[in-house]
Amino acid sequence: MGSSYRPSNASPFGPDRYTGGRDTVLFLLSVAISTTFLLGPSRWGESTASAVRGTVLVPFLWLQAQAEDGRDLRARFVAVEAQRDSVAWDAQALPTLRAENERLRSLLGMTSRIAVPYRPAEVMRQTQITDGRTLVVNAGSRSGVRPFDPVVSPEGLVGAVLTVDRATSVVMTWANPEFRVSAATEDGSVLGLVAAAQTETNNEPLLELRGVPYRDTVPAGTLVVTTGLGGIYPQGVRIGWVVGVAREQEGWERIYMVRPAVNLGTLGHVLLLAREAVGAAAMEAAERAAARPAARAPAVAPVVQADSTPPLRRRRPRPPVDSTAPRRPDSAPATAPATTPAVTP
């Protein structure tokens, strides 16, 4: 039997391979590529880098984006959790505040607040000759806006929606000649109709409170608010303040000038109210107001009858008095006025 001799440094997996030549080739190729891109035009490097990013580095870039999103989501989750804890802590006192508010309103005789849904919108600047009379806002039918929806701002009444597009709407402001709104003084003692003034005073656009009876006087500085009649504008929205008497018709009415509460030149954001909710609130308020006088009607009716009808019923013809009949002592005072003209010479 023969025996095979294997050197001690021989590899068990086969004869040793010489790899020095392959490494040298890869090194020289890398140097050549680097020198080419370094000395060549810059667009070569940009195109190559773009190709590498779009092929080889796509998984690594995706992992980096996911890591950044995860970090942002964790930070956002921590912030939302802190806000939720704060809101939960504050909400514990909400029932107490609501009960206290309702109790104070009942003591003052005030009705509960009616929540009207609204949509915020931004006023888009326009360069037209109708600036001030109409405004364009960035809310349309896609946001649920409908024609004749009332438009308000924190300062007071702006106007109503005139036309609606998909993404924008045109608002008719109080400066429009077609603008009308039922109004009253803050205490409700004087009612009227507010419209745009026919003439401007000192180049200042004003409003007019029309239909005020001649016997009523509204002092300067009185606040004018909406009445809610008509089902378009809500009740109690500030319109402006009375400046003075514009003109008057002798014995008929006075027309007062009103300085508007909203400056259209500096208006940036508005609120578009839902007209259906405003109409429902107005009907509910009208029903409550109509129910209160109905409950008092039985108590008021006797007072009116006592002032007007009883004197007419007392003046009834009396039967003639017989002077020959014997008189009773208790009837003498009643017949005295009738017998006095008979004994006068």
Residue pLDDT, tens place only, 94-145: 888 888 888 887 787 765 565 678 889 999 876 555 566 889 999 999 888 9
Residue type, position 293, single letter: P
The answer as to whether 67 is a domain residue is yes
Please tell me whether residues 46 and 178 are part of one structural domain. Answer: no
- Choice between 111 and 74, residue whose per-residue pLDDT is larger: 74
Please tell me whether residues 147 and 228 are part of one structural domain. Answer: yes
Please tell me whether residues 264 and 132 are part of one structural domain. Answer: yes
Please tell me whether residues 75 and 161 are part of one structural domain. Answer: no
- State the pTM of this model: 0.51
Please tell me whether residues 67 and 132 are part of one structural domain. Answer: no
- Average of per-residue pLDDT values in the chain: 75
Q: Are 134 and 163 in contact (CB under 8 A)?
A: no
The answer as to whether 7 is a domain residue is no
Among 242, 262, 286, give the residue marking a domain's end: 286
The answer as to whether 95 is a domain residue is no
- Provide the 10 A C-beta neighbour count for residue 143: 16
Tell me the pLDDT tens digit for each residue of 166-205: 889 999 999 998 999 999 998 888 999 999 987 766 677 8
Please tell me whether residues 203 and 73 are part of one structural domain. Answer: no
Please tell me whether residues 79 and 224 are part of one structural domain. Answer: no
Q: Give the whole-number percent of the chain exceeding pLDDT 70.
A: 68
Longest dimension (CA), the chain: 191
Please tell me whether residues 163 and 232 are part of one structural domain. Answer: yes
* CATH, residue 190: 2.40.10.350
Q: Measured between alpha carbons, how far is 308 from 289 in angstroms, rounded to an integer?
A: 27
Please tell me whether residues 167 and 55 are part of one structural domain. Answer: no
Please tell me whether residues 68 and 166 are part of one structural domain. Answer: no
Is 80 exceeded by the pLDDT of residue 45? no
Is 60 exceeded by the pLDDT of residue 297? no
User: Which of 43-47, 152-156, 321-325 has the highest mean predicted lDDT (pLDDT)?
Assistant: 152-156
The answer as to whether 232 is a domain residue is yes
Among 270, 286, 302, give the residue marking a domain's end: 286
Number of domains in the chain: 2
Q: Measured between alpha carbons, how far is 165 from 70 in angstroms, rounded to an integer?
A: 40
The answer as to whether 320 is a domain residue is no
Please tell me whether residues 131 and 66 are part of one structural domain. Answer: no
Amino acid 335: pLDDT:
42
Q: Measured between alpha carbons, how far is 247 from 253 in angstroms, rounded to an integer?
A: 9
The answer as to whether 173 is a domain residue is yes
Least confident of 121-125, 188-192, 318-322, 336-340: 336-340
The answer as to whether 40 is a domain residue is yes
Please tell me whether residues 137 and 57 are part of one structural domain. Answer: no
The answer as to whether 326 is a domain residue is no
What is the domain range of residue 191? 118-286
Q: Are 180 and 232 in contact (CB under 8 A)?
A: no
